[in-house]
Structure 1
């Protein structure tokens, strides 16, 4: 069996997290882990010694794009290898994570995993069932990309055009979906989200705007279907409560996750639908401590909070 090529793992973060340690321990010969932060004031720069294969990359402040897009663009420019892995610092990477992704690439070509978002605050907990059905299930069934766990090679995309557009937009994986076809392997990663009411509200705003600019037909369909389901839920509440709960139990089974929050599917609907329409009319949103105004698909402005 031919040896796999070395890879560059891109991990945007301003802090040294468990994910950094987990990934550094999985690097093979010639591999590198690029920890991409903003500037020298970030806590991740405070360590005196870093594991072998780890490089810190200062991306600088974003000007016309999100901090995440800016970090990924800087990481791709700094990476030494053609095989690239994008991942995030907010979920557990088991000891065989990189090896398994490489095996998947050998079999399928570009691959991605699926996130399952678990709330850390009351609002995010309530919204869990709809994040699973409206978000995770669509990624799983549609072979769509999650930027937290995707592997591809430079030749798989038009890299120059991609990086040019990445530096002018918000969503790294939303844009990558336009350049790359992947196979979504049957693994789901638990991703804790939220922690405060503010974070819980800002997240659906950002996600809705990603759909608004990258997949306008999807967001229009989501609005229409949500309104219809909400109307039926009001007219026949008992039947819909049973149906929605059963449907979300089934969604969880497909995704391989068992969460008691499926029983919140009915009340979640009454929170989710207003949030979607609120997100559509919001002019700005906060992500990673920065406030953005997303005027057009490739017109992003970082504004004062």
Structure 2
């Protein structure tokens, strides 16, 4: 017996390599909805789309992020009950969609994890911190990553979810409040940054996501980071050795062999001022729009 047909939602404004990779994996009854913002986006008038692929124009967001708006419209247009969310900024191997579907049959809703790879001096410095907070902690806590998650409509209250989605920033942060997933120890490399400014904007968004979707975790993170920083300053050699060994083990556990694990100690020292900066900032830029995130369901698009 074959698997159920699947709808893949991929928000993007351009036809990227990832779009083609996912399109090549579609079964005869699957569909890929490439969701863009506006008719002026380059992907909107692309000719010669592969079979099973449709471009959906979501329109300008109002009171939510562009990503949340795209996912909401995609959920409305999806023909199938089984749904996959993904992003356009990482490699999707040939068996990616088939493997996710097989994982669902075994575990129910599942998510993969990102491994963020720096593209500028600041993001390279922060790689070890993101390996811990954005990869290891996401896996250990069964947290959803919107870049690779599969579920079915029956796994959540779709109407209630979509109503709240249209009022917030984080699509996967909100989804995690509606369904429980098994997060797999399978990492996808995601390039981050490109400039120091881009890295700072991403960091602000990540910090605010935790603040609004999991306030207790935000408090725990602050306390632990302050304690760890104090130890790092008081006992630099011992703490540096432990941090380097721990992050090296995390890298290897997720199949990553990168020299940046050696930056674990300075990465930790950089996190306190960066966390203070993130909480002090009133706005951040994501996908070309500037947002002011007043509270979880109070989002202002500044420009």
Residues 172-225 of structure 1, C-alpha deviations (whole Å, 9 max, x = no match): 000000001111122111111110111010111000000110000111111111
Partner of 2:250: 251
Shift of 1:31: 0.5
Correspondence 1:116-195 to 2 at 5 A: 116-195=115-194
**How many matched pairs?**
303
Q: CA shift at 1:259, angstroms?
A: 1.4
Residue 291 of structure 1 corresponds to: 290
Unaligned runs of 5+ in 2: none
Distance in 1 (alpha carbons) for counterparts of 2:185 and 2:225: 27
Deviates further, 71-80 or 237-246: 237-246
2:83 is equivalent to residue 84 of structure 1: yes
- Calculate the TM-score normalised by the size of structure 1: 0.98
Query: How big is the shift at 1:255?
Result: 1.9
- The answer for the alignment partner of 1:218 in structure 2 is 217
- Aligned counterpart, 1:275: 274
In the alignment, the residues of structure 2 paired with residue 215 and residue 254 of structure 1 have an alpha-carbon distance, to the nearest angstrom, of 26
Give the equivalent residue in structure 2 for 1:98: 97
> What is the RMSD of the two structures over their aligned residues, measured on CA atoms?
0.8
Partner in structure 2 of residue 51 of structure 1: 50
Following superposition, the deviation at residue 18 of structure 1 comes to: 0.3
Q: Is the 8 A contact 2:111 2:183 kept in 1?
A: yes
- Offset at residue 250 of structure 1 (A): 1.3
1:30 partner SS:
coil
- Deviation (angstroms), 1:47: 2.2
2:264 is paired with a residue whose SS is helix
Helix, strand or coil at the partner of 1:253: helix
Q: Secondary structure at the match of 2:207?
A: helix
Between the aligned partners of 2:45 and 2:36, the Cα distance in structure 1 is 12
Deviation (angstroms), 1:45: 2.2
Shift of 1:138: 1.0
Note the alpha carbon deviations across 1:23-59, whole angstroms, 9 max, x for none.
Answer: 0000001110000000110011242211111001000
Residue 241 (structure 1) shift: 1.3
Within 2, Cα distance between the matches of 1:47 and 1:215?
Answer: 40
* 1:197 match: 196
Aligned residue number for residue 302 of structure 2: 303
Secondary structure class of the residue paired with 1:230: helix
Q: In structure 2, how many angstroms separate the alpha carbons of the residues matched to 1:188 and 1:303?
A: 34
The separation in 2 between residues aligned to 1:140 and 1:260, in whole angstroms, is 22
TM-score, normalization by structure 2: 0.98
Aligned to 1:20: 19
Displaced runs of 4 or more, over 6 A: none
CA distance in 2 between counterparts of 1:230 and 1:110 reads 37
Look up the SS of the partner of 1:41 in the other structure: coil
Q: Could you tell me how far apart the structure 2 residues matched to 1:229 and 1:183 are? A: 29
Q: Secondary structure at the match of 1:300?
A: strand
The whole-number CA distance in structure 1 between the counterparts of 2:47 and 2:109 is 36
